[in-house]
Structure formats: C-alpha cells, structure tokens
C-alpha cells in the first residue's frame, strides 16, 4: 500500500460582517471545534456596529455532531494526517487574508481564536505569511508543536490577550497557571482577561476588547 496525494482547487466558505460607518479595524475570527461560521459570526454583530469588519472562515472538515444526521459542525483538523490538514488551512487562510487586505491595508488587523481556533490562529501566525496588530486567544492555548521562540518572534510587535471564563469546563485553573508559566518563562508579554462564565463568548467581555 502506498499513500499518495493530489492537489486540487478548493472552494472554502467564509462569512463577513461589514463595519457600519467608517471602518477602523478588521477582525479575523476562527471558530472552535464543531461550530459553523454562519452561526459563530452572529456573536460578533456588535463589533460591526463599532466600526469593525469581521471575517469568519470555516474549518475545512464538516461532520454530523451526533450520528449520521442532524446538526452539522466543522473542525480545523484531527489527529489523522494532521500535517496535511495544517498545511491546507494555512494556505486557505493566507489566500483569504491577502484577498481581503487589498482593500483594507490601513485598518488595524486583529486575529481572534476561540477554543480549537486558538491553536489554528497561532499556527497561522507562525507558519503563514501574515502579521497582526493584536492576537486574542479566547478559551484556548498554544499548540505544543510550535517552538516558543518562534511564537515570541512572531508576537514581537503584536499585542497578545488571553481571555478565559472562570467557569470554563474545558480550561481549568491548573491549565491557566501552566499557560502563564509557559509564557513567563519565554518572556512573552500578554494581558489576561477573566470573566464570570463558561466556555462561550461573553458579549460584555468581547466589547471590552474593542
């Protein structure tokens, strides 16, 4: 048995909210595991009212959340052939970014990752050919396959903010301490924003970020 690959063009779905009035920033928002961009983007409607373009690409892998019918979700990758999946979504995100930035090159650029989208965001930042003014990691962490030195270099002129709910069922207190220790040891500067809530987007906290 011989494993082989073929390259083909892809149609990759994304959703956008245009800023109301004069635009001042462009947010690229990466959803979490099992979510769809069409629904996730609705959590960011208040941003467009505050002069922010919002672009939400969708993970390349869609699947039924339970069994073989019903609600559908998407993911960025699994453990199976992960290197290929990572290379594919980096290529897609690069293309999306360059297509958008031709018309918005003077806006502040923000990269926002939620849950699984945090690891996707950091890989894109480190492995892609993009740069951002601000990176926001909400309810997620760094992928362990990225050297911290490389992450630090990419964040040199970029603000980093971590957002975590006090009652997040997936991000426990010990995990937060370990993440902070990791960042401190690497001398990576960051802001930590906490809120009362679980593994979700809290609108009041989201608006504080803008």
Query: pLDDT tens-digit profile of 58-116?
Result: 999 999 999 999 999 999 999 999 999 999 999 999 999 998 876 666 899 999 999 99
CA 134 to chain centre: 12
Burial pattern 135-165, b for ≥16 Cβ within 10 A else e, equals bbbbbbbbbeebeeeebeebbeebebbbbbb
So what's the pLDDT on residue 103?
Answer: 63
Average pLDDT over residues 161-175: 91
Confidence of residue 148 (pLDDT cuts 50, 70, 90): confident
CA 44 vs. chain centroid, Å, equals 13
Section 9-32 average pLDDT? 95
Give the contacts of 186 (CB within 8 A, at least 6 positions apart): 148, 149, 151, 152
Output phi, psi for 76, to 5 deg.
-90, -30
CA dist 186 → 26, 85, 190 (Å): 29, 28, 11
pLDDT class for 154, splitting at 50, 70, 90?
Answer: very high
Nearest C-alpha neighbor of 89 from the set 130, 144, 45: 130
Q: What is the pTM of this model?
A: 0.95
Which residue segments constitute the domains of the chain, with CATH numbers given?
A: 14-208 (3.40.50.1820)
Reported as a single tens digit per residue, the pLDDT across 101-111 is 766 668 999 99
pLDDT at 176 (0 to 100): 86
pLDDT on residue 141 = 87
What Cα–Cα distance (Å) separates residue 2 from each residue in 5, 81, 177, 187? 10, 14, 45, 45
Q: How many CB atoms lie within 10 A of CB 59?
A: 27
* Alpha-carbon torsion angle 16, 17, 22, 23, nearest 10: -50
């Amino acid at each position: 048995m011989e494993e082989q690959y073929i390259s083909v063009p892809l149609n990759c779905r994304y959703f956008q909210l245009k800023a109301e009035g004069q635009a001042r920033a462009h947010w690229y928002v990466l959803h979490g595991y099992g979510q769809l961009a069409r629904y996730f983007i609705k959590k960011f409607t208040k941003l467009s009212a505050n002069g922010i373009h919002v672009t939400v690409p969708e993970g390349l892998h869609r699947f039924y959340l339970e069994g073989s019918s019903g609600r559908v979700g998407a993911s960025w990758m699994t453990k199976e052939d992960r290197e290929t999946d990572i290379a594919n979504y980096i290529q897609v995100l690069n293309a999306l970014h360059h297509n958008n930035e031709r018309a918005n090159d003077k806006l502040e650029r923000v990269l926002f990752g939620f849950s699984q989208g945090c690891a996707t965001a950091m890989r894109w930042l480190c492995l892609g050919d993009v740069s951002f003014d601000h990176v926001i990691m909400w309810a997620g962490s760094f992928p362990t396959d990225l050297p911290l030195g490389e992450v630090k270099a990419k964040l040199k002129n970029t603000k980093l903010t971590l957002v975590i709910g006090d009652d997040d069922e997936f991000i426990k207190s010990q995990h937060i301490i370990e993440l902070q220790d990791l960042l401190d040891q690497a001398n990576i500067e960051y802001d930590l924003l906490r809120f009362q809530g679980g593994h979700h987007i809290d609108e009041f906290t989201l608006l504080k970020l803008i």
